[in-house]
């Protein structure tokens, strides 16, 4: 018996909008799988990936946004090579999205000021670490002062964290979409050239 399929199943012109709808949901809804993409950067011989929180999805500008610590290893990698990759999977909807783009690092500018103002204490705390993320530590440590473990500082006491805070904006130029369905999978590639969207079916 075949399951009911969504409209985009046989209509490639609906896929781009569907993806951005899911991305936008991921930004606002903690229960959406698209909230937590894997971000992959190039580090010379190897690439590496990590989970981040999706903080912005601007369809009109084709931009995805996340926040990070300026001292983290992904920043030095991006300074050498600003190509960036996002990998998303929505388990319930059975949709995988791979997005390829070019990253811009925002630091101490209007974008970071606005984002920092909206960042809650619990997230700001991570930017209070005295050592860079990934530094070797003699003891098990949260990075930020030990006395803040299990509690939150006053918001005024987190302002110093702004020195480590940056926003990565990635302009997406290509996407690959995979939809799993019991009666037959669907896969498509989307090339994004400013306002022009070119979608081709691929063999899954
Ligand atoms: C659920 C989850 C959400 C995370 N969100 C972020 C994030 O938004 N920004 C970030 O820099 N790291 C985030 N991390 C931590 C990263 O995965 C990674 O460990 C950290 O950024 C150090 O990365 P790097 O040293 O490879 O640059 C998150 C990890 C998890 C498990």
The model's pLDDT over 99-132, given as tens digits with 9 standing for 90+, comes to 999 999 999 999 999 999 999 999 999 999 999 9
Phi, psi (rounded to 5 degrees) for 152? -110, 140
Distance CA 18, CA 83 (A): 24
The answer to whether position 29 is within a domain reads yes
Distance CA 113, CA 22 (A): 27
The model's pLDDT over 175-200, given as tens digits with 9 standing for 90+, comes to 999 999 999 999 999 999 988 999 99
Three-state SS sequence of 87-121: EEEECCCCEEEEEEEEEEEECCCHHHHHHHHCCCH
- CA-nearest of 114, 119, 62, 54 to 87 is 54
State which residues form the domain around 14: 7-202
43 token code pair: 């580090």
The model's pLDDT over 40-61, given as tens digits with 9 standing for 90+, comes to 999 999 999 999 999 999 999 9
Say whether pLDDT at 3 is over 80. no
Ligand 1 centroid – CA 40 distance (Å): 11
Count of domains forming the chain: 1
The answer to whether position 14 is within a domain reads yes
Residue of 50, 76, 119, 142 with the most ligand 1 atoms within 8 Å of its CB, for mutation: 50
The answer to whether position 16 is within a domain reads yes
The answer to whether position 2 is within a domain reads no
The answer to whether position 1 is within a domain reads no
pTM: 0.96
Ligand 1 centroid – CA 51 distance (Å): 5
Q: Whose CA is nearest to atom 3 of ligand 1?
A: 52
* 52 in Cβ contact with 68 (< 8 Å): yes
The model's pLDDT over 132-156, given as tens digits with 9 standing for 90+, comes to 999 999 999 888 888 888 888 999 9
In this structure, what CATH number is given to the domain that contains residue 98?
A: 2.30.110.10
Say whether pLDDT at 1 is over 60. no
* 199 in Cβ contact with 14 (< 8 Å): no
């Amino acid at each position: 018996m075949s399951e009911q399929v969504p409209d985009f199943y046989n209509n490639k012109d609906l896929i781009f909008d569907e993806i951005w709808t899911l991305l936008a949901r991921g930004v606002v809804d903690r229960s959406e799988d698209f909230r937590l993409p894997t971000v992959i950067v190039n580090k010379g011989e190897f690439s590496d990936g990590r989970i981040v929180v999706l903080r912005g999805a601007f369809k009109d500008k084709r931009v995805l946004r996340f926040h990070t610590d300026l001292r983290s290893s992904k920043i030095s990698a991006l300074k050498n090579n600003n190509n960036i990759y996002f990998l998303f999977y929505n388990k319930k909807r059975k949709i995988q999205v791979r997005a390829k783009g070019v990253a811009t690092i925002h630091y101490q500018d209007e974008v970071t000021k606005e984002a920092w103002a909206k960042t809650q204490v619990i997230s700001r705390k991570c930017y209070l670490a005295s050592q860079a993320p990934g530094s070797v530590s003699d003891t098990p440590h949260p990075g930020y002062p030990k006395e803040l473990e299990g509690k939150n500082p006053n918001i005024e006491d987190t302002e110093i964290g702004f020195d480590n805070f940056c926003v990565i904006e990635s302009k997406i130029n290509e996407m690959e979409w995979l939809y799993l369905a019991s009666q037959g999978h669907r896969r498509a590639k989307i090339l994004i050239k400013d306002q022009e969207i070119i979608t081709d079916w691929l063999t899954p």
